[in-house]
């Protein structure tokens, strides 16, 4: 039923609590697990270019990417046991995270998206928005949202 499962993580505790659901579904359906993380980039301004050289910017980007990959390895891949049918996709984007997650879903042909929900409401939801809610509204495949018990 679910041959390609996209697990979306923001490297939060909530995502850590959600991962076992995605992993269990991938194992149950013998599916391909795609672990996706979006590195949010602030929009570039000319002002930053005055103080940050290209080589420094590249070094910062590499260190940030290395950090994300190490976190994904320790939080998720290390807990997968003998499951080998997976891939990790990390993208940098200045757009709201749900846009690149939708792109990844389409590019990879995901049958299911699994994402944690922080359960924000009221003003907090209005200010921060909800990536999970926006994915639910725009995805072309089912979306499983898991709200952390914490």
- Tell me if residue 87 falls in helix, strand or coil: strand
Whether residue 49 is contained in a domain is answered as: yes
- Give the integer Cα–Cα distance in Å for 66 and 117: 26
Whether residue 60 is contained in a domain is answered as: yes
pLDDT (0 to 100) of residue 127: 39
Q: Which residue segment(s) compose the domain that 76 sits in?
A: 8-147
**Length, in residues, of the chain:** 150
Whether residue 59 is contained in a domain is answered as: yes
Q: What angle do CA 120, 123, 128 make, to 5 degrees?
A: 60
Average pLDDT over residues 125-133: 63
pLDDT (0 to 100) of residue 123: 45
Whether residue 131 is contained in a domain is answered as: yes
- Give the integer Cα–Cα distance in Å for 141 and 3: 12
Bridge partners (DSSP) listed for residue 36: 8, 89
Give percent above pLDDT 90 in the chain: 67
- Comparing 68 with 53, which gets the higher pLDDT? 68
Based on the structure, what is the number of domains in the chain? 1
Whether residue 82 is contained in a domain is answered as: yes
- Give the integer Cα–Cα distance in Å for 29 and 52: 48
Whether residue 13 is contained in a domain is answered as: yes
- The confidence band for 39, taking pLDDT boundaries of 50, 70 and 90, is very high
pLDDT (0 to 100) of residue 145: 93
CATH of the domain at 22: 3.40.50.620
**Would you list the DSSP string of 8-75?**
EE-SSHHHHHHHHHHHHHHHHTTPEEEEEEEEE-PPP-HHHHHHS-HHHHHHHHHHHHHHHHHHHHHH
Whether residue 2 is contained in a domain is answered as: no
Whether residue 78 is contained in a domain is answered as: yes
Q: Which residue in 3, 79, 63, 55 sits closest to 34, CA to CA?
A: 3
pLDDT (0 to 100) of residue 126: 42
């Amino acid at each position: 039923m679910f041959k390609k499962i996209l697990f979306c993580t923001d490297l939060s505790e909530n995502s850590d609590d959600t991962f076992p659901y995605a992993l269990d579904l991938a194992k149950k359906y013998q599916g391909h697990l795609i672990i996706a993380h979006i590195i949010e980039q602030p929009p570039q301004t000319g002002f930053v270019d005055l103080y940050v050289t290209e080589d420094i910017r590249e070094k910062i980007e590499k260190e940030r990417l290395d950090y994300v990959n190490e976190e994904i390895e320790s939080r998720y891949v290390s807990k997968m046991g003998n499951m080998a049918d997976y891939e990790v996709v990390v993208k940098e984007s200045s757009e709201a995270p749900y846009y690149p997650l939708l792109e990844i879903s389409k590019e990879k042909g995901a049958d299911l998206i699994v994402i944690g929900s922080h359960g924000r409401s009221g003003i907090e939801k209005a200010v921060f928005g909800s990536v999970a809610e926006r994915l639910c509204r725009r995805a072309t495949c089912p979306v499983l949202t898991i709200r952390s018990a914490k």
